[in-house]
Amino acid sequence: MRKRKGGEKMSQLAESKGIILFSRNYKEKDKLVKIFTESAGKMMFYVKGIHRQNQPLAPALLPFTEAVYIGTFKNEGLSFIKSVKNIHPFRKIQEDIFLSGYGTYLLNLVDAAIEDHQYDPTLFQFTQLALQKMDEEDDPQIITNIFEVQLLQRFGIAPIWTHCVVCGKKRGKFDYSSKFGGILCEEHWSMDLRRYHADPRAVYFVRLFSSISYDKINAINLKEETKASIRQLIDQLYEEYVGIHLKSKKFIDQMKSWEHVLKRPVTNEKSTENKKKE
């Protein structure tokens, strides 16, 4: 970005890899598209005539799409897309209502976690990898849980998961304590009667999720009751510390009640030495 004489800003043509966060129609033929770019953070783009037939930009502006976007990137106001290249749709997420539910929630969390124009290539790559794993049909619930736990940092929350905050113990049964800002081992549960009273199995996996890397995991097999306990624990954390209520989160919570009507395709289980079992 350069400045003209007199302080007037002048935009430059730029390009960046980006992931579509969401879009909405604007006027009759145009669209506003929010893109999480690797080089400039989240930006809102104005795209004219997107509803015309054979619009070359259209495939790159679909939900759950990654591409390299070329255009005028502005620090303030709307930016503009001139052209695109290297379009990569997350096809399975686009085609599966269950996967798209989780994917939408994940992208909504990104939008809530950082300000527009905030440079965060680490979060971009983390988001990219989460969508890739989901598109490869790894368990979307677990992928989402890992994302939620590690995203807490972006909301300014840093619970201590590695050890008991009182004695430093690293193994055994633990529970989460808001009072101490981290986990308590079973020997010190009496120090906080208002601790979460979470399922110790859920605490174990949330501790694992807080530091695990997507590229080192191919599958995690958990019982449904354990997944429910993990969901409850993460919900408690988000309700207490973050306080956002997204429609996409409500949607995935409700999916359990009607997933038997629209069954997800059965996927082949992967077995690797990195596989985590209960």
* Structural domains counted in the chain: 2
Q: List the domain range (segments joined by +) for residue 138.
A: 101-262
Looking at the predicted structure, is the pLDDT value of residue 159 above 60? Answer: yes
Q: What is the CATH number of the domain that holds 42?
A: 2.40.50.140
Contact present, 105 and 246 (Cβ < 8 Å): yes
- Pick from 244, 161, 158: which is nearest to 208 by CA? 161
Looking at the predicted structure, is the pLDDT value of residue 266 above 60? Answer: no
DSSP state string for 198-251: --HHHHHHHHHHTT--GGG-S-EE--HHHHHHHHHHHHHHIIIII----HHHHH
pLDDT score of 265: 52
Residue that terminates a domain, selected from 89, 116, 134: 89
Looking at the predicted structure, is the pLDDT value of residue 34 above 80? Answer: yes
112 and 215 belong to one structural domain: yes
Residue 182 within any structural domain of the chain: yes
Residue 129 within any structural domain of the chain: yes
Contact present, 232 and 145 (Cβ < 8 Å): no
Alpha-carbon gap, residue 2 to 7, rounded angstroms:
9
Q: pTM for this one?
A: 0.87
65 and 159 belong to one structural domain: no
Alpha-carbon gap, residue 232 to 253, rounded angstroms:
11
pLDDT score of 54: 78
pLDDT score of 188: 98
For CA atoms 254, 201, 148, 17, give the dihedral sign: negative
252 and 198 belong to one structural domain: yes
Q: What is the CATH number of the domain that holds 255?
A: 1.20.1440.120
Looking at the predicted structure, is the pLDDT value of residue 127 above 70? Answer: yes
Alpha-carbon gap, residue 188 to 169, rounded angstroms:
10
Most confident of 52-66, 80-94, 253-267: 80-94
Alpha-carbon gap, residue 198 to 196, rounded angstroms:
5
pLDDT interval class at 261 (50, 70, 90): low
Residue with tokens 């009182």: 166
pLDDT score of 203: 98
**Average pLDDT of the residues in 56-72:** 95
Backbone phi, psi, residue 191, to 5°: -75, -10
238 and 117 belong to one structural domain: yes
